């Protein structure tokens, strides 16, 4: 463990909270088992003791802004001297995210992340005990009715809306009277802003209980070295931070911060209680893209699927931004006379220019991914025509009518820097020639940045029945083409042409 020269003297900082967080990161599986904590024991820790055990304003007269200034100083030292890229921040301001305003706290956190190339993992925040919800009902209709009558917005706390950070909500772990994998009674919900997805993910944070002697289902190590129950989004966040750190180590630091976040979101799955009919919107509000998988699951592919990762920077051309195009042939075992079957999933994460002066429109450049299939009939000018065949994950099913702008923002996550798409095909089209595209759109008052927009996009192609040799077929096709394909553990950057 590395410890910096402390801003607070020994005895002035909260030893218990920090020790609980560190215990989950380093020996979480030892004290909880592999069903609760996914990653193995062991992690290099860099301790930054900044949270006081007395009145917060006594140490930080300007409040959370002062606190973030000290965080930057500590992050600079940790990154430059020790190469730390993942920072757990189980601390929130005592203020809910505002619907039409991107907070100065989130903006400041984004600036630090950009300056030093790091990722903050931030707790979504806890409800005051008096505002805790009832236990999650077992019947979906009861869940819908409960939230239809609940007047409290339960909004996530600042700076959990930070788009460069990963925000984490809390789920009930096994071993308690609460429903496993359902949102806890105290976890806040997003998105807070009128756009986007927050929290990004959710994982076990300890079940809120009516009696202090009952187990919360999540344990850590106290300042005295003894095992003790913990509860709160503060303790869900370090489990996610440990996963990101493990992914960073396993890929030898070769992934950009966008790619690290994209890998986590792409391999997250919505908790089972939130997959019930009628709970799609609530699932997004509480768990974002879902519950993260293990690092090993992110890096290992079954024979019936393949995942391709592209990390690059979309640059500006002479007259308009460059479009990334990656042509490929659909796996032959899923093609019948040109008609393609299978499932495709895409996750796109990018770092656009941000300007909080524009309120909820603070994201100034929008990137979109599409998966296009070649059409037999050419375009009017005689050129080869490709049409998009994949839909945004949260977009409701619709006809071929034009989708309203509000629906694109609310459900298609337009102007939000993390997006997912998914479609299952059944003998689709008449050609096995496809291409992945990443395109951009700039707001009317803005310009595409001269330095470009860094992004990462993951594409998974798979046989839903789990039988076809998709991995080998795609690998052979890539090797036969001009594409440079590498294992993600020794990844290289692919530049757009």
Cross-strand bridge partners of residue 468: none
Rounded mean pLDDT of 311-328? 81
Q: Cis peptide leading into 199, omega within 30 of 0? A: yes
Instruction: Residue 355: name the closest of 157, 114, 119, 104 by CA.
Output: 104
| pLDDT of 212 | 67
> Reduced to 3 states, what is the DSSP secondary structure of residue 478?
helix
If pLDDT is split at 50, 70 and 90, which confidence band does 444 have? confident
What share of the chain has pLDDT > 90, as a percent?
Answer: 70
Q: Which of 282, 298, 314 is the last residue of a domain?
A: 298
Between CA 66 and CA 62 the distance in angstroms is: 5
If pLDDT is split at 50, 70 and 90, which confidence band does 497 have? very low
Between CA 465 and CA 196 the distance in angstroms is: 32
With residue 342 as reference, give the H or E element that holds it. Answer: strand 339-350
If pLDDT is split at 50, 70 and 90, which confidence band does 495 have? very low
Residue 7 lies in a domain: yes
Between CA 342 and CA 423 the distance in angstroms is: 9
> Does the structure show a pLDDT above 70 at 410?
yes
Instruction: Residue 50: name the closest of 35, 64, 36 by CA.
Output: 64
Both 293 and 347 in one domain: the answer is no
Q: Which of 20-24, 110-114, 336-340, 395-399 has the lowest mean pLDDT?
A: 395-399
Residue 120 lies in a domain: yes
> Reduced to 3 states, what is the DSSP secondary structure of residue 208?
coil
Between CA 175 and CA 352 the distance in angstroms is: 42
Cross-strand bridge partners of residue 47: 3
With residue 78 as reference, give the H or E element that holds it. Answer: helix 64-82
* Domain count across the chain: 2
Q: What is the mean pLDDT of the chain?
A: 90
Both 226 and 322 in one domain: the answer is no
Domain enclosing residue 480, as ranges: 301-490
Residue 496 lies in a domain: no
Q: Which of 190-194, 350-354, 405-409 has the lowest mean pLDDT?
A: 405-409
Residue 256 lies in a domain: yes
Both 384 and 471 in one domain: the answer is yes
Q: Which of 263, 298, 333 is the last residue of a domain?
A: 298
Per-residue pLDDT of 272-283, as tens digits, reads: 999 999 999 999
- Residue that is written with structure tokens 């990443």 in the block: 438
Pairing of strands 335-336, 324-329: unpaired
> Does the structure show a pLDDT above 90 at 208?
no
Q: Residue 29 in contact with residue 225, Cβ under 8 Å?
A: no
If pLDDT is split at 50, 70 and 90, which confidence band does 322 have? confident
| pLDDT of 494 | 42
Say which residue, 213 or 267, is predicted with more confidence.
Answer: 267
| pLDDT of 486 | 66
> Reduced to 3 states, what is the DSSP secondary structure of residue 143?
helix
Both 342 and 239 in one domain: the answer is no
Instruction: Residue 477: name the closest of 442, 415, 441, 434 by CA.
Output: 434
> Does the structure show a pLDDT above 60 at 496?
no
> Does the structure show a pLDDT above 80 at 485?
no
Both 273 and 411 in one domain: the answer is no
Between CA 148 and CA 414 the distance in angstroms is: 27
Both 135 and 171 in one domain: the answer is yes
Residue 461 CA, distance from chain mean position: 20
Q: Cis peptide leading into 212, omega within 30 of 0? A: no
The structure tokens listed for 181 are 């994998």
Rounded mean pLDDT of 30-34? 95
| pLDDT of 6 | 56
Between CA 351 and CA 261 the distance in angstroms is: 11
Both 357 and 240 in one domain: the answer is no
> Does the structure show a pLDDT above 60 at 267?
yes
Q: Residue 13 in contact with residue 21, Cβ under 8 Å?
A: no
Residue 347 lies in a domain: yes
What share of the chain has pLDDT > 70, as a percent?
Answer: 92
Both 37 and 159 in one domain: the answer is yes
With residue 335 as reference, give the H or E element that holds it. Answer: strand 335-336
Between CA 113 and CA 133 the distance in angstroms is: 34
Between CA 32 and CA 36 the distance in angstroms is: 6
| pLDDT of 446 | 85
pTM: 0.92
| pLDDT of 207 | 93
Sign of the C-alpha dihedral, residues 170, 175, 181, 184?
negative
**213: domain CATH number?**
3.40.50.200
If pLDDT is split at 50, 70 and 90, which confidence band does 492 have? very low
Between CA 346 and CA 171 the distance in angstroms is: 25
- Residue that is written with structure tokens 């989950």 in the block: 24
Both 58 and 124 in one domain: the answer is yes
Sign of the C-alpha dihedral, residues 167, 114, 393, 34?
negative
Go through the chain and tell me how many residues it has: 497
Residue 419 lies in a domain: yes
Both 369 and 452 in one domain: the answer is yes
| pLDDT of 320 | 67
- Phi/psi of residue 272, nearest 5 degrees: -55, -45
Between CA 405 and CA 409 the distance in angstroms is: 6
The structure tokens listed for 442 are 């700039």
Both 132 and 239 in one domain: the answer is yes
If pLDDT is split at 50, 70 and 90, which confidence band does 477 have? confident
- Residue that is written with structure tokens 């440079």 in the block: 484
Residue 67 CA: distances (Å) to CA of 64, 111, 121, 241, 364: 5, 14, 16, 20, 28
99 class by beta-carbon count within 10 Å (0-12 exposed, 13-18 middle, 19+ buried): middle
CA torsion, ordered 469, 474, 477, 483, to nearest 10 deg: -160
Instruction: Residue 231: name the closest of 303, 317, 138, 127 by CA.
Output: 127
| 318-354: burial string, b at 16+ Cβ within 10 Å, e else | eeebbebebebbbbebbbeebbbbbbbbbbbbbbbbb
Residue 495 lies in a domain: no
Q: Which of 250, 271, 298 is the last residue of a domain?
A: 298
Both 239 and 93 in one domain: the answer is yes
Rounded to the nearest 5 percent, the helix, strand and coil shares of the chain are 30, 25, 50
Cross-strand bridge partners of residue 254: none
Read off the DSSP letter of residue 325: E
Residue 135 lies in a domain: yes
């Amino acid at each position: 463990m590395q410890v910096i020269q402390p801003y607070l003297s020994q005895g002035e900082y909260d030893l218990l909270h920090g020790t609980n967080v560190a215990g989950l990161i380093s020996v979480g599986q030892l004290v909880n088992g592999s069903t609760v904590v996914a990653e193995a024991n062991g992690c290099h820790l860099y301790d930054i003791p900044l949270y006081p055990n007395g009145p917060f304003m006594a140490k930080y007269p300007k409040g959370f802004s002062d606190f973030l200034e000290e965080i930057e100083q500590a992050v600079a030292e940790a990154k430059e001297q020790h190469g730390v890229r993942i920072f757990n921040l189980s601390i929130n301001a005592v203020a809910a995210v505002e619907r039409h305003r991107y907070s100065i706290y989130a903006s400041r956190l984004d600036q630090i992340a950009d300056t030093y190339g790091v990722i903050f993992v931030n707790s979504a925040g806890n409800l005051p005990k008096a505002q805790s919800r009832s236990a999650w009902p077992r019947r979906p209709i009861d869940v819908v009715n409960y939230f239809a009558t609940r007047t409290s917005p339960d909004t996530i706390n600042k700076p959990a809306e930070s788009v460069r950070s990963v925000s984490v909500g809390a789920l009930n772990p096994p071993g308690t009277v609460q429903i496993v994998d359902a949102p806890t009674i105290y976890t806040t919900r997003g998105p807070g802003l009128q756009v986007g997805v927050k929290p990004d993910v959710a994982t076990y944070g300890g079940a809120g209980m009516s009696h202090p002697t009952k187990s919360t289902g999540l344990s850590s190590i106290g300042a005295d070295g003894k095992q003790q129950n913990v509860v709160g989004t503060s303790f869900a966040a370090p489990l996610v931070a440990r996963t990101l750190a493990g992914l960073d180590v396993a890929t030898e630091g070769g992934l950009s911060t966008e790619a690290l976040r994209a890998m986590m979101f792409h391999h997250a799955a919505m908790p089972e209680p939130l997959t019930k009919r009628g709970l799609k919107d609530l699932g997004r509000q509480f768990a974002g893209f879902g519950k993260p998988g293990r690092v090993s699951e992110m890096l290992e592919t079954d024979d019936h699927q393949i995942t391709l990762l592209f990390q690059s920077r979309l640059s500006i051309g002479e007259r308009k931004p460059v479009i990334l195009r990656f042509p490929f042939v659909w796996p032959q075992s899923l093609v019948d006379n040109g008609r393609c079957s299978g499932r495709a999933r895409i996750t796109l994460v990018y770092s656009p220019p941000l300007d909080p002066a524009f309120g909820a429109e603070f994201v100034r450049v929008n990137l979109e991914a599409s998966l296009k299939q070649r059409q037999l009939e050419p375009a009017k000018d005689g050129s080869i025509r490709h049409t998009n065949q994949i839909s945004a994950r949260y977009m409701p099913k619709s006809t071929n009518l034009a989708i309203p702008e509000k629906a694109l923002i609310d459900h298609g996550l337009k102007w939000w820097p993390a997006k997912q798409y998914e479609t299952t095909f059944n003998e689709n089209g008449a050609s096995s020639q496809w291409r992945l595209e990443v395109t951009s759109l700039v707001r009317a008052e803005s310009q595409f940045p001269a330095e470009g927009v860094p992004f990462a996009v993951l594409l998974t192609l798979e046989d839903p029945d789990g039988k076809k040799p998709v991995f080998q077929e795609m690998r052979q096709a890539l090797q036969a083409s001009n594409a440079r394909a590498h294992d993600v553990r020794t990844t290289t950057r692919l530049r757009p042409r």
